[in-house]
Amino acid sequence: MSLLQPPEAVRGMTKLDKEAFRLTVDLPVIEIEASDVGSVTRRVRLESFLIGHKLRPLKNTMDSEKEGKKYLVFNPEKVEQDTLREKIGALIKREIDDGQPINWTTLSKELTFDNWDTKSIFKAILPVGIEYSSYTQTGHIIHCNFADEVLPFRHIIAEVLLNKVKNCKTVVQKGNIITNVYRNLDLELLAGEENYETEIKESGLRFKMDFSKVYWNSRLSHEHERVAGLFNNQSIVYDACCGIGPFVLPATLKKKPRRVMANDLNPESVKWLKVNVALNKIKDDKIEIHNMDAKQFIKENIANDVIRLMKEESGSEDFDENKLESEIHVVMNLPAYAVNFLPAFRGALKNFETELKEINKKWKWNVYCYLFAKSQVDVPDEWYEEEARRMCDEKTKWDKSLVVNCHNVRTVSSRKEMFCVQLEVPYEYLLAEPLPEEPEVPFEPEEVEEPSCKKMKMDN
């Protein structure tokens, strides 16, 4: 048992009692002139022996009761051996050399709940062999995902987090399985206010949301940035499952695309997207927003919009050879389902055959289809990418694969990888006979994340 752990009496605690965390510890110290602290700590490499920052506000140097003197405060576990203490004393003396001996003494300090960090508290509370350290924070909300053995301790864990984590006002448990179409999580309030309206920053932009009603995952921030980085000021950007705007808002502000249209089936996502457009001072007319099924959005809104824009350009008099060529980008980040939207591209322009004949420059179509590649058994890493390609090919049903790139976004859990598959959709496909409507594919319940006991995961 470590000397610097909360008292053993807190083990098994299920209701937070801060008083039970009081503990007096004897800390080894060396008293030196305050004016010598700077040179000693600079020139003698003491960091690994000093108390460090674990027991904040305890610090490596503290005021002594004697005027003009300071203590160097050591970690008792790191300076147990007398020979080591002698060595440290000699090194310090070499720096000071005022003729005075270097003495090791003891400083008694009472540690309270405030001194211990969450990791030490959880380790002290939970039965030996059970660990908890993984949680995610979105604005003022902390969401936890518990392994079965930790569940009986969820309320005290929540109380500890509420008390210890900066800006945390609400702690919820999120369900392990997403079953609903809008991909928001089932939340159970564990501690703090029942207030799910929060605000976070991503890529320098502000995002407000009702966390209980929309989808948000800060682990996707790199992916949001990566995709926005593919656009330029001539891009035509369509986000078919836009959520509260993490692709379209940074893209609009940073890349200034020629056209942006965003859509989501969840009216709450659309409501918060509009709030976020205003919050980030983006003019209303920069993003056209829709609230419908992605398939319908592709077949009607995107198809009509592309034809209108290409016709406009074909009829335009001004030609600038330095201008970048426009490309169409359709983002579909609904990994549990988006492959089922791919058939909507087949024949999407069939009704515009006549118009297309008059259009001299046809823009390239890039589709970014997110999906999960899952295996029931252990497979080599390459299998997941092959599976991702196969899943898209199976849905597009074309004589050659439309897949041009497969980007691994993240590992969701063991044997489950998230990909962004990029497809280049040719005009022959867009003008082909549409596939017969397939029966609606039901949403599969989706496992959110394996509850992890190892890593601390922080959003903000």
Choose between 159 and 202: whose C-beta lies nearer to ligand SAM: 202
> What is the number of residues in the chain?
460
Choose between 85 and 206: whose C-beta lies nearer to ligand SAM: 206
- Which residue's Cβ lies closest to ligand SAM? 243
In this chain, which of 92, 124, 220, 349 binds ligand SAM, going by CB under 6 A? 220
* Window 68-87: contact mask with ligand SAM (x via CB under 6 A): --------------------
Q: Would you say 264 is a known binding-site residue?
A: yes
Contact stretch for ligand SAM (CB under 6 A) within 5-13, 235-243, 376-384, 387-395: 235-243
- The C-alpha torsion from 191 through 193 and 199 to 202, rounded to 10°, is 0
Q: Reduce the DSSP state of residue 135 to 3 states and report it.
A: strand
Which run of H or E residues covers position 39?
helix 37-43
Which residues within the stretch 363-392 sit at the binding site for ligand SAM (CB under 6 A)? none
Question: Cβ distance 368 to 332 under 8 Å?
Answer: yes
Choose between 124 and 275: whose C-beta lies nearer to ligand SAM: 275
Q: Is 294 in the site for ligand SAM (CB under 6 A)?
A: yes
Q: Which two tokens stand for residue 104?
A: 């090791």
CA–CA dist 172, 191 (Å, integer)? 7
Residue keyed to tokens 């890349």: 255
- Using CA atoms, how far residue 225 sits from 142, 254, 255, 385, in Å, is 24, 10, 11, 22
Q: Would you say 186 is a known binding-site residue?
A: no
Q: Is 293 in the site for ligand SAM (CB under 6 A)?
A: yes
In this chain, which of 156, 330, 334, 403 binds ligand SAM, going by CB under 6 A? 334
Which residues within the stretch 83-112 sit at the binding site for ligand SAM (CB under 6 A)? none
- Name the minimum Å distance from CB 401 to ligand SAM: 25
Mention every residue, 6+ apart, whose C-beta is less than 8 A from residue 133: 118, 119, 122, 453, 454, 455, 456
Q: Would you say 378 is a known binding-site residue?
A: no
Q: Is 183 in the site for ligand SAM (CB under 6 A)?
A: yes
- Beta strands (DSSP E) in 389-448 are 403-413, 416-425, 446-447
Q: Is 348 in the site for ligand SAM (CB under 6 A)?
A: no
Choose between 104 and 443: whose C-beta lies nearer to ligand SAM: 443
Q: Is 287 in the site for ligand SAM (CB under 6 A)?
A: no
Q: Is 242 in the site for ligand SAM (CB under 6 A)?
A: yes
Angle between helices 267-279 and 248-255 (to 10 degrees): 30
Q: Which two tokens stand for residue 293?
A: 């099924």
Contact stretch for ligand SAM (CB under 6 A) within 74-82, 258-266, 305-313, 398-406: 258-266
Q: Is 243 in the site for ligand SAM (CB under 6 A)?
A: yes
Q: Which two tokens stand for residue 217?
A: 């995952």
What are the residues facing 32 on neighbouring strands?
70
CA–CA dist 4, 317 (Å, integer)? 77
- Name the minimum Å distance from CB 192 to ligand SAM: 24
CA–CA dist 163, 169 (Å, integer)? 9
Q: Would you say 431 is a known binding-site residue?
A: no
CA-closest candidate to residue 147, choices 183, 122, 116, 121: 122
- The C-alpha torsion from 152 through 155 and 158 to 159, rounded to 10°, is -130
Q: Is 241 in the site for ligand SAM (CB under 6 A)?
A: yes
Question: Cβ distance 393 to 423 under 8 Å?
Answer: no
- Name the minimum Å distance from CB 216 to ligand SAM: 6
CA-closest candidate to residue 262, choices 234, 347, 312, 251: 251
Choose between 265 and 430: whose C-beta lies nearer to ligand SAM: 265
- Name the minimum Å distance from CB 314 to ligand SAM: 31
Choose between 288 and 293: whose C-beta lies nearer to ligand SAM: 293
- Name the minimum Å distance from CB 190 to ligand SAM: 24
Which residues within the stretch 263-282 sit at the binding site for ligand SAM (CB under 6 A)? 264-266, 269
Q: State the residues that interact with ligand SAM by CB under 6 A.
A: 181-183, 215, 220, 240-243, 246-247, 264-266, 269, 293-294, 333-334
Residues contributing to the annotated binding site for S-adenosyl-L-methionine? 224, 264-265, 293-294, 333
